[in-house]
Structure 1
Amino acid sequence: MITEAVLKPMHILLVDDNPNNLKVLSEAIKGCGWKALMATDGESAIEQTEYAHPDLILLDVMMPGLDGFETCRRLKANNITQNIPVIFMTALSDATDKVKGLEIGAVDYITKPFQQEEVIARLKLHLKISHLTRTLEQRVQERTAELTHSLQQLQQTQLQLIQSEKMSTLGQLVAGIGHEINNPIGFISGNCSYIEQYVNDLFRLVDLQQQKLPDPDPEVEELIEEIDLEYLYEDLPKLLLSMHQGIERLKDISLSLRTFARADISSKVEFQIHEGLDSTIMLLKHRLKDQGDRPKIEVVAQYSELPPITCYPGQLNQVFMNIIANAIDAFDDLHQNVSKQAISPCQYTITITTSVDNQQETVSICIEDNALGMPPEVQARIFEPSFTTKPVGKGTGLGLAISYQIIVDKHHGNIHCLSTASQGTKFVITLPI
């Protein structure tokens, strides 16, 4: 597979509004046997990426119109282009700008004025990493093929399960997925440890060879300059550290999945409500971030000191997920309306408040947003099965109906909705301790 990848010509998309930069970079790339594609602005870069699908993008930050940051955001938001590595070219020396580029999806950056040798070395490194990543993903897909088949079988019976138990098996399913994630995580983590050891061994070998053979062969000297050995010494450990951080992030997500699912359907157990709320927010964190021009959604948690309650944790977490996800959908709709009407958006906020009533021996969870709200005719039907105001393919109308049955039938609690059109919606859940 590696031989085929080396023989296949690589396509590098160069995006810069400076023709001289494009010419210099294009000649350097062609000298490596790669093919250079060129764009002078963000819009044409996105268009070329969608139909040409280059192996890597070298993207200038400062451009008229659509700058490099926004171009990268749109590329990463597009399913067709999101996996293509992006390296920023920037004259900005501020670390904040560099971190911003990495946070929105870039894999590296090159500071102008750049050296051709550095550019080529970084391109070679990230092309290799991209190939290794695809290889690992393929192996993970093969490893989880049996699990995928099992999930497909579960999906075939999902409608019957909804009608009979109203998603009571969801906790087991999510917990199983969280558990299965640990297998590829362990596989990647274990391999990273060996890679780090092998890299250190190779570095020791090179150091020893340079000590014993201080006057290397000219051909060896040429190769050392070509691969920029000094840079590899400096950058490769950083890449390995970044991979370890990514693995730790995956482990955190896996733990949140298991906390969220809590497959304990057969009997009630003691559970701290705040753990369920926090794990739900963690799993929805990617949707709370700013999406293009839609601002970030702030979550304000106003927790009181609550005692553990006896409940079905996995099912309660599903209720929290349904309500908070619906609030996020409402903010998305609100932003579309605000954009059409050219109105300045307010601060998008979801407020979660908990309290305890010791006399009634109940706890209350209030989840409130300041989004669109609902008219009375919609509010009167939100707990009806199959009723939805969302477009086809986005909503089934089962989320709140299932939530109602979980709270009222399974836990003997109450759930009610208070909503005012154009002001927001509040769900209040009351549960016996």
Structure 2
Amino acid sequence: MSQPLPAPELKDRKILVVDDDRLNIRILSGILKTQGYALADADSGERALELYPEFRPDLVLLDVVMPGLNGFETCRKLKDTYGDACAPIVFITAKNESDDVVEGFSAGGVDYLPKPFQAKEVLVRIQTHLRNQLLTEQQKSLVDQLSKANAAKNKFLGMAAHDLRNPLASIRGLAEFLRDGVVGPLSADQLDLVQTIHAASQSMLTMVNELLDVATIEAGELKIDPAQHNLGDLIEKAVYLANIDAAKKNTRIEITPPASPLYPSFDPAKMQQVVDNLLSNAVKYSPPGSRITVVLHGDGRECSFGVKDQGPGIPENERDRLFKDFGRLSVKPTGGEKSTGLGLAICRKITEAHHGSITAANLPGGGCEFRVTLPLPA
């Protein structure tokens, strides 16, 4: 029966053969050289441990029964030393008892080669494991390239957002001066144009700020400064300010305080960003004249606050998009407000940075509830 043809992509892959029997080494070397592999050998587990860092094999063929360190012990030491970077280890053994097989896999081996060797079986098994190893290396290389490309994208996004923020803030500020009559009265048509400029610049500034937040978070540069604070106080202030905008839609936000004050550890500025976003979304997606409720709760181990709205709820087939970047749903704001699809993704990342969680659930009577849960200090 013919042997497998050499695989060009595996030529020069390095194999370390470990066996105290020189005859076995010669037999395996004779079989493997036909495939163009680079070979090294060791006659003991101790010698294999010395040779491994110098040779850096792509695969190890390791005899089980050897004086000194046996194959299982040698395998464990290699795995302990090199971890996930360790080459796949295939055991060589004349034994085929299930206990030995189980022990070999428990030690970290990926396969067995039984004695006496069958050339075709040896080559097919080794080609399979070398191909798997090659695929793993290629995947790691691809992941590294994608990570670098993603880091470059985040850097560019952060720079662009940062450079755009100041001019947009200036446009918004100048529009406010004109709107408020600082430079003189405006006609009705002029005021309408100025208000349009102000609204557009505010929307763009919100988008730029969210893009900058995403770039910062994805670059691993989100910094929080947690300390124990009264969560109820933060939410009461946020609700007071949110009610000013909610009044434009004849909507009211009400808060149900906890039975006793809650003092989780959080970064006030970052957590306010979460609260503001959830309140803004509740107003944005609820019909005019709605009532939005914020409920705080604590049980001694953790605390939470939930924002309940009277909007259309979350379509079940779109739930997986909810907390993803740019994860816009089919439901639309009820007052023509803009949405970037970034707000909830930012909320999730900030909450998780506080070792908390955020969930969303449709309510039986309509609308939905977004709930943030944070651990309480022991």
TM range (shorter): 0.3 to 0.5
TM-score, normalised to structure 1, is: 0.36
* Structure of greater Rg: 2
TM-score, normalised to structure 2, is: 0.41
Which structure is higher in helix share? 1
